[in-house]
Structure 1
Amino acid sequence: MRPFQWMTTVACLLALFVSNQAEAHFLWLLPQAEGKNNAAKVQLYFGEAAEPDDPDLLKRLTKIKVWEKSPNGKLQTYSLTEGDDSLFITPNPKGAGKAAYGLDHIYGVISRGDSQFLLKYYAKAFPQKSQGVWNKISCSKELPLEIVPVLKGEEVTLQVNWNGKPLADAELKIIGPKTSSESVTAATNAEGQFQTKLSNGIYSIRAKHTEQKKGEHNGDKYDSVRHYSTLTLPYVSLSKSNKTAATKSTPAEKSKFPQLPDAISSFGAAVSGDYLYVYSGHIGRAHQHSAENLSQKFQRLNLKHPKGWESLPLKTPLQGLAMAPHGDSVYRVGGLSVTNKKKEESKMNSLPTVERYSPEKKTWETIPSMPTGRSSHDSVFLGDHLYVVGGWTMQNGIDSIWQEDMVVLDASAENPQWKAIKQPFQRRALSAAAHQGKIYVMGGIDSGGDISHEVDIYSPETGNWSKGPEIPGSTMNGFGTTAWSIDENLYVSVMDGGVYQLDQKNQKWKKVSSLATPRFFHRLLPDGNGGLIAIGGASRKGHLKSIEQVKLN
């Protein structure tokens, strides 16, 4: 398991106290969309790396000031604006360039067992086009704990300074764009330095320094001070051989499938016969939950002749639901109903209802409801048996109940009844797939707020659970995954865009494809022609309409 307390981008995701999460999170600045002079937008994230995390944790950080420092030493300060999954500043004038962005923030006193410490954060970032001046903009006056990058070719020397002087044995954590091979935990040498090679992409680098110093902050006593400083480096090789690739991105191949009518995430989808069915889901801005933010559509697309979407009768608008094909029918299982209007107090309930859509009759048929309401779960058929795994029960603001049981229904029975099977986990925002006679359950987030990369396998033949190889990559890859088995091969699609195939012989996952648009809370399904497609979901820029063909190696 790879613990990290993370975010929820689509459906009322983490419900933890901020003070208990703080030290597992760090402040990061990430410049975006470069133009002529400075970064057009600089985003602030609070997580393990410079990428979206739980936006609710940003609410107590809105008063932070972000500064921009030019090579001539001029400082300009900006207030933060709230975005979908980050706070951000918009420097003026807009554009590209040769400046550093930073902040410092006293978070407060944190208790861990018998220890109380004051937590201080520092963050610094450069736009990609400023990499020639990374080490020329001194921020030692603004950042007591500072990471200074000195670039030479593809190698960078990370100089860690404390109050302007080299800090030996400083703890460093480097998370690279190829996180499975480029994540490094190290310590600086006697000169406060650490060297590493870079490849194209964004690097999230942090340093830690602890002062054994007692004091008091806002009436709370502490016995030490923990300083965390982060550095975000968007690196692009400027060598002659890579210059073209560094300055131009390869356009994604145009999909033969029409876009979804709405940009959606956390929806239900299934392929039955020649048709892709898509049911409701979350629309609008992430983290905003109201009846208006639920799609009012149930639709299907003919995969053999994908000319346009056909509208079908919708029952209840939902998000966080699951769908599963069986024969010519598709089953809708559970889901989250949201009945409040915008800006009203949330009214969100996980439903126990299960219904079957008959394409022949174009009607919904009632199936026995699950024992309890369930959302943020997954479901899959293995033979005639419908398995529903993971999830929780939300109940109008009352503490959510994390599901301890997988439930199973024999759809072929004359009077089908649900049967409960104990799960060796409590997780939601996970994925499930039927593969070679077993149920594979992948990733998710647990009741303690940790994102899991674990793979749990249930054998109906023996009634036992076992473990599979963990999902590879960064922490976020365990959250909002989607999986499918085709041609005796099991695939999982994760947030960083990677599509992995299970190598059962060697008990590991191997990367076989990358999505042009990384996404999560999407669906990976067969394309009707022996391949796979990635449908909708959420990305850094918001919800998606696109359906992307997965190119398998």
Structure 2
Amino acid sequence: MKPNFLFKSLIALLLFGTSQSCLAHFAWVTTDSENRALLFFGESPDERAYKLPESLLKAKVNALTEGKKHADVKLVEVDEEDFIGRRSAEPVNPRATLATSLTYGNYHGTLLKYYAYHAGQVATDPPRLTQEPSEQKGSKQKVSAAKPQAGLEVIPSVSQRGLCLTVLWQGKPLEGVEATLMVGDGESEKSKSDRDGEAWFPPPVTGGGETQIAAIVGHEVDKEGTVDGEPYNNESHYATITFMHTNKEGNTEPREAATSAAANTHSAYPPVAEPVTSFGAAVSDGWLYVYSGHTGAAHSYSREELSTHFQRLNLSGGSAWEDLPCPRPLQGLAAATYDGKIYRVGGLEARNADGDEADLHSVADFAVYDPKTKTWTDLPALPAARSSHDVVVIDGTMYVVGGWNLTGETPGEWQGEILTYDLSQESGSWRPLEVLKLKRRALSVGEHEGKLVIIGGMNEDNDITQKVTIYDPATGQVSDFAEFPGSGMDGFGTTAINQGGQLYANGLEGVVYRLDAAGQAWQPVGELQQPRFFHQLVPGPGKALLAVAGTSDVEHLGDIEVLEVAK
């Protein structure tokens, strides 16, 4: 493709305040048709025959795979007619993120530093973001996702809302910087980052096949110093990013038009009323119950974006969902069954209207639904409101684990106490579990041979963990178990269920794991056709597992996938 002149001119203006595009050269990292890493210096990612500066000859490129593993990429210098730069002799992992940083030097009194990235895979959400809100109103959690070095970072994501470039400086969101984006041969677009470091663009319309997307971001730092014995008055930092984008099945319409409903392609069961995530689900007496959840676009919260449906489906040949009374639309709640009744615990409500600034509040609700009378009854409220938690019932006792309490403007308060409630008694009360406290959210809990199993989640340091903790009610002992398989986001928004006396768990990786008979290791027993998280695993007919709704790396889901697990 031919380089876009407007794109180069905008870069020149960004860097030099002039349209002399011959001055606007940057470091770029990408891959070729054989998936070899390329490092070069040019005006755009398509101009690859410019002489390499000395600093680029010394720069190191590293590859990040599986969320945590960094590895140096060995490059050799290449001088060909169409390419002058450095290239890896061997292909790199196609899903890896490639990253480099280098100091160009003193340019007319300005210290120039370059950062270049290539994203082998692109998420649907900005870093560490799903439909789970952050500690503070309107502020989202960020984490450096691409590199071991500090500095300027750009992380792309593509969702039904659009294309987002998350800009981080020293690992924190950077507000007010301008990002310039080019999609294929199309005209360049510009957007400024908000307080979450997010610069948003319309969904890319690329037609069929893969299209290269490139972007550049600049950041000025008012700092004096010397480099190579020469003084400078300020610093200029510039980051480039490249990645490939493919519209599903060659779709050339904006992504909103392509995701109005989730297709039921994995089972004979009809989809839920609307694609939904962060909902409550449980199975009782052969009926699947689904309560409310989040239906809006990623990172968008309002009353209108909470499902108003409480519905059930007969798993023995049912062809349609039955609507039931839904007294309070919520997301981030938890549900469980006991003695034929459905219990819902906590959750999060949005008190703002669509388009207004998010006003999010966790709730302390505890209520039970009786299918015989089709009525809800309020039970003693939680000692404190919480959302993004999970619950499980073991021998008649409900355990509420994890979560936090969001209260609008104030920072979220992590809920470290594990609460218990004796459902076998006509009147009960909440009691804290004295021997174990932990602060995690977006986790899952399950039961294995009478023991409470706590899986993954995010801790109060905003780190995703694969840690598994086990509590034995019979002995009061607490122990750590083998970590849940996977890395990166795989421990976030997981789900767990006991089916046929065995504990199963699943995360974004898509693999369903079972705790082995000895309770010593996780065994893979199957894989979902559509990986997802913030969904629910529930027991199906026989020994089948049902994966209900949730969100994939592209869109909200409403389907039910049936998995017949291996013996």
TM-score bucket (shorter structure): 0.5 to 0.7
| Inter-partner Cα distance in structure 2 for 1:535 and 1:212 | 63
3-state DSSP class of the match of 1:476? helix
3-state DSSP class of the match of 1:452? strand
Which of 209, 213, 219 is equivalent to 1:96?
A: 209
- How far has the Cα of 1:3 moved from its partner? 8.0
The residue type paired with residue 562 of structure 2 is Q
In structure 2, relative to structure 1, the CA distance for the partners of 1:213 and 1:279 (3 Å cut) is: farther
| Inter-partner Cα distance in structure 2 for 1:20 and 1:42 | 19
Is 1:27–1:44's contact at 8 Å kept on the other side of the alignment? no
Which of 290, 299, 322 is equivalent to 2:334?
A: 322
1:300 lines up with 2:427 in the alignment: no
1:420 lines up with 2:531 in the alignment: no
The residue type paired with residue 290 of structure 1 is S
Give 1:9's aligned residue.
130
Give 2:464's aligned residue.
451
- How far has the Cα of 1:445 moved from its partner? 1.0
- How far has the Cα of 1:397 moved from its partner? 1.8
The residue type paired with residue 267 of structure 2 is S
Question: In the comparison of the two structures, how many residue pairs are matched?
Answer: 415
Question: CA-to-partner distance for each residue in 1:322-379, whole Å, 9 max, x for gaps?
Answer: 0000011010111112221112233322111211111111111221111111111001
Where do residues 455-474 of structure 1 align in structure 2 (5 Å cutoff)?
A: 455-474=468-487
Which of 390, 402, 420 is equivalent to 2:402?
A: 390
| Inter-partner Cα distance in structure 1 for 2:493 and 2:353 | 26
In structure 2, relative to structure 1, the CA distance for the partners of 1:64 and 1:272 (3 Å cut) is: same
1:313 lines up with 2:325 in the alignment: yes
1:289 lines up with 2:301 in the alignment: yes
| Inter-partner Cα distance in structure 1 for 2:432 and 2:403 | 14
Is 1:58–1:86's contact at 8 Å kept on the other side of the alignment? no
The residue type paired with residue 377 of structure 2 is E
Question: CA-to-partner distance for each residue in 1:49-93, whole Å, 9 max, x for gaps?
Answer: xxxxx9x958756x31124678xxxx96343699xx984566787
Is 2:543–2:564's contact at 8 Å kept on the other side of the alignment? no
Is 1:30–1:232's contact at 8 Å kept on the other side of the alignment? no
| Inter-partner Cα distance in structure 2 for 1:346 and 1:291 | 10
Give 1:381's aligned residue.
393
Give 1:534's aligned residue.
547
Which of 155, 179, 184 is equivalent to 1:64?
A: 179
In structure 2, relative to structure 1, the CA distance for the partners of 1:345 and 1:212 (3 Å cut) is: farther
Which of 252, 259, 262 is equivalent to 2:271?
A: 259
| Inter-partner Cα distance in structure 1 for 2:289 and 2:205 | 46
The residue type paired with residue 496 of structure 1 is E
3-state DSSP class of the match of 1:10? coil
In structure 2, relative to structure 1, the CA distance for the partners of 1:29 and 1:19 (3 Å cut) is: closer
Is 1:6–1:476's contact at 8 Å kept on the other side of the alignment? no
Is 1:317–1:337's contact at 8 Å kept on the other side of the alignment? yes
- How far has the Cα of 1:398 moved from its partner? 1.3
1:335 lines up with 2:447 in the alignment: no
The residue type paired with residue 445 of structure 1 is M
In structure 2, relative to structure 1, the CA distance for the partners of 1:284 and 1:214 (3 Å cut) is: farther
Is 1:266–1:537's contact at 8 Å kept on the other side of the alignment? yes
| Inter-partner Cα distance in structure 2 for 1:330 and 1:212 | 72
Give 1:360's aligned residue.
372
In structure 2, relative to structure 1, the CA distance for the partners of 1:461 and 1:345 (3 Å cut) is: same
Give 2:11's aligned residue.
none
- How far has the Cα of 1:447 moved from its partner? 1.7
| Inter-partner Cα distance in structure 2 for 1:266 and 1:382 | 23
Which structure would you say has the larger Rg?
A: 2
Give 2:446's aligned residue.
433
Question: CA-to-partner distance for each residue in 1:18-41, whole Å, 9 max, x for gaps?
Answer: 9995645553457999xxxxxxx9
Question: CA-to-partner distance for each residue in 1:365-421, whole Å, 9 max, x for gaps?
Answer: 221111111111001100110100000011122121101100000112243121102
| Inter-partner Cα distance in structure 1 for 2:491 and 2:265 | 27
| Inter-partner Cα distance in structure 1 for 2:306 and 2:390 | 19
| Inter-partner Cα distance in structure 1 for 2:333 and 2:272 | 18
Give 2:515's aligned residue.
502
- How far has the Cα of 1:534 moved from its partner? 0.5
Is 2:469–2:479's contact at 8 Å kept on the other side of the alignment? yes
- For structure 2, the 5+ residue unaligned runs are 1-66, 70-125, 147-152, 247-262
3-state DSSP class of the match of 1:292? helix
- How far has the Cα of 1:281 moved from its partner? 0.8
Name which of structure 1's ranges 85-94 and 457-466 shifts more when overlaid on structure 2: 85-94
Where do residues 143-182 of structure 1 align in structure 2 (5 Å cutoff)?
A: none
Is 1:7–1:14's contact at 8 Å kept on the other side of the alignment? no
Is 1:482–1:492's contact at 8 Å kept on the other side of the alignment? yes
In structure 2, relative to structure 1, the CA distance for the partners of 1:214 and 1:461 (3 Å cut) is: farther
Give 1:141's aligned residue.
none
- Alpha-carbon RMSD across the aligned residues, in angstroms, is 4.1
Give 2:188's aligned residue.
77
3-state DSSP class of the match of 1:477? helix
Name which of structure 1's ranges 371-380 and 456-465 shifts more when overlaid on structure 2: 456-465
The residue type paired with residue 292 of structure 2 is S
| Inter-partner Cα distance in structure 2 for 1:47 and 1:421 | 41
| Inter-partner Cα distance in structure 2 for 1:445 and 1:87 | 26
Give 1:347's aligned residue.
359
- For structure 1, the 5+ residue unaligned runs are 34-40, 49-53, 111-115, 119-209, 236-250
In structure 2, relative to structure 1, the CA distance for the partners of 1:252 and 1:542 (3 Å cut) is: closer
| Inter-partner Cα distance in structure 2 for 1:435 and 1:217 | 60
Question: CA-to-partner distance for each residue in 1:411-456, whole Å, 9 max, x for gaps?
Answer: 1224312110254421111111112111111111122211111111
Is 1:58–1:87's contact at 8 Å kept on the other side of the alignment? no
Between the two proteins, what is the percent identity of the paired residues? Answer: 33
3-state DSSP class of the match of 1:449? coil
- How far has the Cα of 1:493 moved from its partner? 1.3
3-state DSSP class of the match of 1:453? strand
In structure 2, relative to structure 1, the CA distance for the partners of 1:261 and 1:404 (3 Å cut) is: same
Is 1:256–1:306's contact at 8 Å kept on the other side of the alignment? no
Is 1:352–1:369's contact at 8 Å kept on the other side of the alignment? yes
Is 1:29–1:102's contact at 8 Å kept on the other side of the alignment? no
Is 1:16–1:449's contact at 8 Å kept on the other side of the alignment? no
Question: CA-to-partner distance for each residue in 1:456-477, whole Å, 9 max, x for gaps?
Answer: 1111112232111112223111
